[in-house]
Amino acid sequence: MSNEKKNYTPQELNSMSNDELARLGTELDGVTVAYRKERFPVDNDPASKRASRAVGTFLVLSIIGAIGFLGVYLFWPWRYKGLGADGMWLYTFYTPLLGVCGALAIGCLGLAVVTYVKKIVPEEISVQRRHDGPSDEVDRRTITALLNDSWTTSTLGRRKVLAGMLGASGILAGLAIILPMGGMIRNPWKPGVLGLQGDGTLWTSGWTLKSKNVKLYLGRDTGAIAALEKGDKDHPNAVTHASTAGIARLVRMRPEDLDAGSMETVFPLPDELVNDKDRHDPKRDVYTEHMHSIHGPRNAVMLIRLRHKDAQEVVERKGQEDFHYGDFYAYSKICTHIGCPTSLYEAQTNRILCPCHQSQFDAKMYGKPLFGPAARALPQLPIEVDEEGYLVAKGDFIEPVGPAFWERES
């Protein structure tokens, strides 16, 4: 405990210098400065300039990193580009550049602070005893004086350029952390343009295009990728480049393409993007659009052809009696538990199994859950066959696909 007098009048306090108040503050707080040594006791010490330059270099790098991060985040092309598409390389660098710039901004700011404290701020060892209770007037005044003293001894007041850069670096690094959180406060229900991946809201998928009178085939994924093109007529054996022209990643299906007791994953294939069989054009390139359909988070549908005798036992859900075509049933592949792909179909029992947490759904009973944590049936896509004999969507899903969310009613 300090033996110092505590009851100072405002006049006595006003008459003290900042140094005296600071010293009084340490004594009143029971703080003992055991050791203190200036780093640069001699004016114009070259070591002081070197230390200052080192801190300045880290701050400049931090500012460059923070500006780079903000620039990349705001202006770099970030939308997905498929293999071989224009701008694919620029897109590929988006995430790595964010990481490098963010690390530079925050890492160099940290290094600048550590270097400043280790090389410029006076070395000091202080010891303080703990005490309880709120601070009185004297303590508040003296702590202010101590802070003033810290500012003075830090010499930042004299080093205007360093202080300015430290402030700028701190603000920009803070922005680099805060700005990406902007994505979390966007309105998730604000619809964008309806396309092959829906309109950006959870109610929609590529199949929602059907409600805009777009003819949608059930497109089977062939897994086809870019083909190597041969050289010109003078160099017929030379391989010049990879091309996706003429490749149909998604192709139309007829009922006879699927055996009884089997399952195929299909995606929405708009009429204008068909490039197979009698409508194949070797120069046309629809690959990117087909990949957009495959990547649509709510697009994957399981087309199941039940064995005919099993189809006789099917229990239809009310309001969905005409959603199937003969023995063909189409269910969303997105598990209603937490959205894994329900990839397994067991023909013997007609059960659909989700490998994530073992939910099982009955293909003979409108995709109703029979086991596991999923509580809702798999949404069923209404299907039919068009005049040419291809399987097409008859309408959109009548309920949201995938896991539950706050706004859905059932």
Binding site for ligand FES (CB under 6 A): 335, 337-338, 340, 354, 356-357, 359, 372-374
CB of 310 to ligand FES, least distance (A): 23
Give whichever of 350 and 359 is closer to ligand FES, judged by the CB atom.
359
Give whichever of 97 and 338 is closer to ligand FES, judged by the CB atom.
338
8 A C-beta contact, residue 241 and residue 258: no
Give whichever of 300 and 335 is closer to ligand FES, judged by the CB atom.
335
CB of 370 to ligand FES, least distance (A): 12
Give whichever of 165 and 301 is closer to ligand FES, judged by the CB atom.
301
In sequence order, what are the beta bridge partners of 303? 264, 330
8 A C-beta contact, residue 221 and residue 247: no
Give whichever of 174 and 373 is closer to ligand FES, judged by the CB atom.
373
CB of 302 to ligand FES, least distance (A): 13
How far is 82 from 89, CA to CA, in rounded Å? 10
Give whichever of 84 and 373 is closer to ligand FES, judged by the CB atom.
373
How far is 226 from 335, CA to CA, in rounded Å? 31
What 3-state DSSP class applies to 220?
Answer: strand
CB of 303 to ligand FES, least distance (A): 19
The letter for the amino acid at 131 is H
How far is 294 from 79, CA to CA, in rounded Å? 16
How far is 197 from 123, CA to CA, in rounded Å? 61
Give whichever of 162 and 374 is closer to ligand FES, judged by the CB atom.
374
What's the CA angle centered on 195, arms 88 and 76, to 5 degrees? 30
8 A C-beta contact, residue 339 and residue 314: no
CB of 374 to ligand FES, least distance (A): 5
How far is 374 from 5, CA to CA, in rounded Å? 72
How far is 232 from 247, CA to CA, in rounded Å? 20
Give whichever of 93 and 371 is closer to ligand FES, judged by the CB atom.
371
Q: Indicate the helix (H) or strand (E) that contains 250.
A: strand 250-251
8 A C-beta contact, residue 286 and residue 243: no
What's the CA angle centered on 250, arms 349 and 399, to 5 degrees? 55
CB of 333 to ligand FES, least distance (A): 11
Q: Indicate the helix (H) or strand (E) that contains 256.
A: none
CB of 251 to ligand FES, least distance (A): 29
Give whichever of 235 and 357 is closer to ligand FES, judged by the CB atom.
357
Give whichever of 170 and 403 is closer to ligand FES, judged by the CB atom.
403
The letter for the amino acid at 155 is T
Give whichever of 112 and 374 is closer to ligand FES, judged by the CB atom.
374
H helices of 185-286, in order, are none
What 3-state DSSP class applies to 324?
Answer: coil
Residue with tokens 């810290």: 150
Structure-block tokens of residue 367: 């995709």
CB of 361 to ligand FES, least distance (A): 9
In sequence order, what are the beta bridge partners of 33? 126
Maximum distance among all Cα pairs of the chain, rounded to whole angstroms: 103
How far is 94 from 87, CA to CA, in rounded Å? 11
